Amino acid sequence: MATILNGKALGLTIREKIKSRVAALPSQPKLAVVLVGDDPASHVYVGLKETACEEAGIGFEMNLYESDVSEEVLLEKIAELNKDKDVHGILVQLPLPSQDASRIIQAIDPLKDVDGFHPENLEKLRRGEPTIASAVALGVMKLIRHAVGESEIPKTATIVASPLFAEPIKILLSEQGASVTVTQAEDAELASKTVDADILVVAEGEPGLIIGEMVKPGAIVIDVGTTKVNGVLKGDVDFDTVESVAGALTPVPGGVGPMTVAMLLVNMLKAFQLQQK
């Protein structure tokens, strides 16, 4: 049976450290979130981020829009937040209902991009320069490191996700010497690509996409997917069939979500410090 990776406990440890560091700052950092539409999982995660900010002493501003809001309206808001010296972090909650996520994210000031998806931050990450890395990717890497302990990170990884989402995780895994394959749910060869991987990261928002026979025995399986089904949060991994095959597995909820929230606070602190220089 797989070792269950407790992201909630790991995340709480990180959050306590950030709280004490924020308390020592000369002024309060502030996060502005742009949330579009009424996707239940997105609202759950934004709520968790708001609570985490409040507990850590970080200011929080919510900017909520209808699902059919124009990209121009969102771009105007981001331009306004970029100029606001009291705002140190900007986060556009993904996925967006229909708007072009790449276009919206590129408009964010890279120094305020606490989700780490801006092309400039990704390029710095590729070059190994100091930057703000994706909070999700950092959370995923912390969980993988927790799973392997003192051992080296396994050398074969598959990420099932959109290219935008997969890229920072791919860069960080590659830095650790892993050979990384990126694919998506509609790939006809999906099962053959997942079953060969020592590390499998899935973020498609398709409940039960990955079943036990698609997983390599002993693999580290990181389930980033979150979809509400009949009021219950479900991951992309069929927990029951995968638990008996994998070596380590993140639950949903309680796995990647809490770690992403914790690493977002780490990024808020980093963004604040970068902007003071």
Q: Where are the alpha helices (DSSP H) in the chain?
A: 7-23, 40-56, 71-83, 101-106, 119-127, 135-148, 163-175, 190-194, 239-243, 256-276
CA 58 to chain centre: 19
- Alpha-carbon span 95 to 124, nearest angstrom: 24
The residue from 77, 93, 112, 170 that is catalytic is 93
The residue from 115, 198, 223, 236 that is catalytic is 115
Q: Which two tokens stand for residue 272?
A: 């604040």
3-class DSSP assignment, residue 258: helix
- Alpha-carbon span 246 to 228, nearest angstrom: 24
The residue from 30, 39, 49, 236 that is catalytic is 49
User: Are the beta carbons of 244 and 271 closer than 8 angstroms?
Assistant: no
Q: Which residue has the tokens 């320069």?
A: 129
Verify whether residue 176 is a known catalytic residue.
no
Verify whether residue 93 is a known catalytic residue.
yes
User: Are the beta carbons of 65 and 56 closer than 8 angstroms?
Assistant: no
DSSP category for residue 255: S
- Alpha-carbon span 133 to 170, nearest angstrom: 12
- Alpha-carbon span 219 to 195, nearest angstrom: 9
Verify whether residue 196 is a known catalytic residue.
no
User: Are the beta carbons of 108 and 77 closer than 8 angstroms?
Assistant: no
User: Are the beta carbons of 98 and 77 closer than 8 angstroms?
Assistant: no
Q: Which two tokens stand for residue 183?
A: 């694919």
Q: Give the residue numbers marked as catalytic.
A: 49, 93, 115
